[in-house]
Structure 1
Amino acid sequence: MSGKTTAAVDIARSPQEVFGFLADATHLPDWQPDVRTAAFDGPGPVTVGTRGHEVRHVMGADRTITWEVTAYEPGRRYGVRGVDGPVRANVDVTFTPQGQGTHVEYGIAFEGHGVGRFIAPLARRNARKEVPATLGLLKQHLEAQPHG
């Protein structure tokens, strides 16, 4: 797993608000346009180890991806890692208070399995373009909402 892509954005909302939105899987389609749907699996509070899934449009087709929460520190840090498929993402997001808002650092790395070893470099290249754009959508969406 090499070639981690990182990007950052400053959002005029508290770390708790930004974390609450970003760590709610159902909001993923609001700021990642290629995600059709996303949800946590089963009821109950989200903790490290909780699994979820998303339907993402990848390489011309909708694909279901399963992931697991690897970090869950409200207002501070959130992480997930893919657990199936030929290319698995590892995402780590930190939330740092900055003035009246939040500095968000987003990192993603891809791990190829089987044929995914050949696809992962393409995923990395796409992420370098897409991550800054999706963080811009996250900022736009959150700042358009009323505080609270």
Structure 2
Amino acid sequence: MAIVFEHSIDVPQSPNQVFSLIDDYKKVPLWAIRCEGVAKQGAGPNKVGDKLRYAYCEHGKHGLMDGVIVTQDQDSRLSYKYYDKMMQVFVDFRLEPDGAGTRLTHRIEITPHSFMAKLMSPMYRMKLPKQTVAAMAALKALLAKEYGAV
């Protein structure tokens, strides 16, 4: 059974500015707390089907997850999934114009696969809201730093 959490924030930056920042995988570690880096295989603009590699650190343990861009709708939606032997993580961003700014909704869906991941599901369920809210707060601060408070 999937563990799901969704959180929305309003930011004064335009959907184009927000999309540009979340679509820049080199900047993900600046707002996603446990992320050490995201690398895209291949060159050129990001597009659906591009392969990703997500490096993370959780409780001092470093790990890697393979991934793929699932949705790439300029200025309105970006989603991708990461997976390893333990689980699959679906990450989705929806952007809606909100006056001069943007309503940004971030949804995370974790599907445990391994026996160990299933045992740890209560911990994931407990930690996911706090991690997601913290990431969105850091993203909002980074948007203000990059583009100003508009």
| TM-score (structure 2 length as normaliser) | 0.90
Unmatched tracts of structure 1, length 5 or more: none
Equivalent residue number for residue 112 of structure 1: 112
Q: Distance in 2 between the 1:123 and 1:41 partners? A: 29
- Percent identity between the two aligned chains: 22
Which letter does structure 2 place at the counterpart of 1:121?
P
Question: After the TM superposition, which residues 53-92 of structure 1 pair with which residues of structure 2 at under 5 Å, given as runs?
Answer: 53-92=53-92
Equivalent residue number for residue 142 of structure 2: 141
Per-residue displacement from partner, 1:90-137 (whole Å, max 9, x unpaired)? 111100011111100111111111232223332232111110111011
Moved >4 Å (runs of 4+): none
Equivalent residue number for residue 23 of structure 2: 23
1:6 aligns with 2:6: yes
Query: For 1:85, what is the secondary structure of its paired residue?
Result: coil
Contact persistence 2:2–2:112 (CA under 8 A) = no
Q: CA deviation at 1:59?
A: 3.5
Contact persistence 1:109–1:124 (CA under 8 A) = no
Q: Distance in 2 between the 1:88 and 1:38 partners? A: 16
Figure out how many residues of one structure are paired with residues of the other and give that number: 148
| TM-score (structure 1 length as normaliser) | 0.92
Per-residue displacement from partner, 1:2-55 (whole Å, max 9, x unpaired)? 231000111111101101110211111010121112121121332111111121
Unmatched tracts of structure 2, length 5 or more: none
